[in-house]
Structure 1
Amino acid sequence: MPQVLSLSFLRIFLPVWCVTYLIASTAHTQSVLYELHKLDVNITLGDNIQTTLYDIYGLLPAYGSGIALALLLGFGFTGLVTAGFTRRRFLLPVAGMIALLTLLLSLQPIMGITLIAGARSGTGLFAQCMAGFCGGCLFWYLCARQVPTKG
């Protein structure tokens, strides 16, 4: 039975993580490219797409694993704190948002700089948090769709 539960969780968590990571990575890239554009750097559509795809691939080991851990902790903590309440899933988007905010803010004092350049501005940090919010919304939706199996 635990294997079924873990497989069930992975079926929900993997798409949530992918969506969250793709939004966060793309928001990071677009934020950096926007700042370069403000400095009159000419960025073609092709450069934009190529840079976005490169960042999605390049940030995956570090930022992708950080996002996975942050979401696991955020959703897990939310589940533990609200275990006695029947209508708790609405907190999952907030948990996803806070998970990414915590990840980004905790890295700054440890490393001395904001590693995700796209999160150095208020707007960029907000975009990263919205990636977590979107992931939490998808997690909520997928959890609600899950039908318990009898057996």
Structure 2
Amino acid sequence: MMILIGHFFAASLLTFILASIVHSQFVIHALVAINIEVTWLDRLNMTIQDIQGLFPTLGPIISFSLLCGFLLVALLKKFKPSANQYNYILLPFAGAVALWLMIIAMHPIMNITLIASARSSAGIASLSVCGVIGGWLFWRLRSGQALLKAEA
């Protein structure tokens, strides 16, 4: 059970960090588009500050969203054991859908899109890709496969 929790935490953390980086770069791109000069050092500092600043709020929201998605996959596998062979598709898909639904659900609840990068289709798609990567990591860790294969 502790291993499962560790795998989930790793997937959630990676998804959060990637989503924060994506968010930062979309915001910085918008600043550059209105002729504000942003150096590479500024980009790095803003990205690090966003990761630190978003962690207490966005981190738990992403974790909860992924938990819901992964639990739905577990439920599907319980009632349809043959779905087990499709974990490599189901878990990344669940990660993408979880982040997409998280973004979509925030707007009616709060009447604002709190995540600036999610105000465009490209931003929503990019954040969903972060969910795919988190789901992929969770699948890889749960399947016992090495994350990177060493070539001899």
Output the TM-score relative to the length of structure 1.
0.90
1:94 is aligned to 2:112:
no
Deviation at 1:81, TM superposition (A): 1.4
1:14 is matched with which residue?
A: 9
1:11 Cα shift? 1.9
Give the structure 2 partner of residue 149 of structure 1: none
- What's the offset of the Cα at 1:82? 2.4
Higher deviation after alignment, 78-87 or 65-74: 78-87
Pick from 48, 62, 65: which aligns with 1:67?
Answer: 62
Counterpart amino acid of 2:86?
R
Query: Contact 1:107–1:114 (CA<8 Å) still a contact in 2?
Result: yes
Tell me what 2:104 maps to: 105
Which runs of no fewer than 5 residues in structure 1 stay unpaired? 147-151
* Structure-1 residue corresponding to 2:149: none
Quote the Cα distance in structure 2 between the aligned partners of 1:76 and 1:88: 15
Q: CA deviation at 1:47?
A: 0.9
Superposition CA RMSD, Å: 1.0
Distance 1:25 1:124 in 2: 12
Q: Which ranges of structure 2 fall in alignment gaps of 5 or more residues? A: 146-152
Q: Percent identity?
A: 35
User: What residue in structure 2 maps to residue 23 of structure 1?
Assistant: 18
Q: How much has 1:78 moved relative to structure 2?
A: 1.1
Aligned position for 1:139: 138
Normalization by structure 2: what TM-score? 0.90
Measured in 1, the distance between the counterparts of 2:36 and 2:74 equals 46
CA deviations over 1:76-123 (Å, ceiling 9, x no partner): 011101222231312100000000000010000111110000111111
What is the CA–CA distance in structure 2 between the aligned matches of 1:141 and 1:121, rounded to whole Å? 30
The CA distance in 1 between the partners of 2:6 and 2:115, in whole Å, is 28
Q: Which residue of 1 aligns with 2:47?
A: 52
> What is the Cα deviation at residue 10 of structure 1?
1.5
Partner in structure 2 of residue 116 of structure 1: 115
TM superposition shift of 1:14: 1.3
The corresponding residue for 1:127 is 126
Secondary structure at 1:88 match in 2: helix
> Is the contact between residue 82 and residue 88 of structure 1 (CA under 8 Å) also seen in structure 2?
no
Paired positions, count: 141
Distance in 1 separating the partners of 2:124 and 2:113? 10
